[in-house]
Amino acid sequence: MIRLLLRRPSGVAEATADALRALAVVGIVVAAVGWGPLSGISLALVAGGMLLPRMLGLRPSVDIAFGVVVLVAVWSSVLGIYVSTRWWDLPVHFVTNGLCAALLYIVLVQFGVLADASTLPRPMLSTAVITTALGLALGVIWEVFEWYGHTFLDPEIFVGYDDSIGDLVWGGAGALLAGCSMTYLTGPPPRATAEVGPAD
């Protein structure tokens, strides 16, 4: 994993993903100075999470997609877009929760906590079920975090029954889609595949 993080990007896509990570690091300072320490901490957590796709060896396009999605999600919070545009959190939950559930599934498989779906009788169904369950669990954790933030940190954080149920439904749907797309998410990057040739 350390080698994956230290090696130089070998293509435009990998360089783009690394540029997004650098942007996130700069955003920590910008958010902390412009919107307060809590916003800076949020950007710091996102910047740390953006290392996961590289550590897991996922294809650069997935790395870029994850970086863009989590940056949009966190800056939407910092800038108050979730409050000013109430419907915006639903598509963000759909995409963000789906990708996070997929990454959590991959981590648990790599650490041997979950069985590799390719060893099971119905791999796609198994992956979809588990990823959806993980997505719903992450959704519940997020709603608890929102409640905590609203109660103890910032009363402007919007919470409510309809909001929570909507977030869980859309987040679960995103996780289901991610589970059905796991073959693409975990497949080797096209560049790596092209470099593999017959043994001499």
Closest to 97 (Cα-Cα) out of 177, 173, 171 = 171
Helices 89-110, 60-78: axis angle to 10 degrees equals 130
Element (H, E) at 46: helix 37-49
What per-residue confidence (pLDDT) applies to 8?
Answer: 54
What per-residue confidence (pLDDT) applies to 189?
Answer: 53
- Which parts of the chain have pLDDT scores under 70? 1-10, 187-200
Domain boundaries, the chain: 12-79, 83-187
Residue 22's CB is within 10 A of a number of other CB atoms, namely 11
What per-residue confidence (pLDDT) applies to 5?
Answer: 44
What per-residue confidence (pLDDT) applies to 125?
Answer: 94
**CB within 8 Å of 101: residues ≥ 6 apart:** 131, 132, 134, 135, 138, 174, 175, 178, 179
- Asked whether 50 and 99 are in contact (CB, 8 A), the reply is no
Record the pTM: 0.82
What per-residue confidence (pLDDT) applies to 38?
Answer: 87
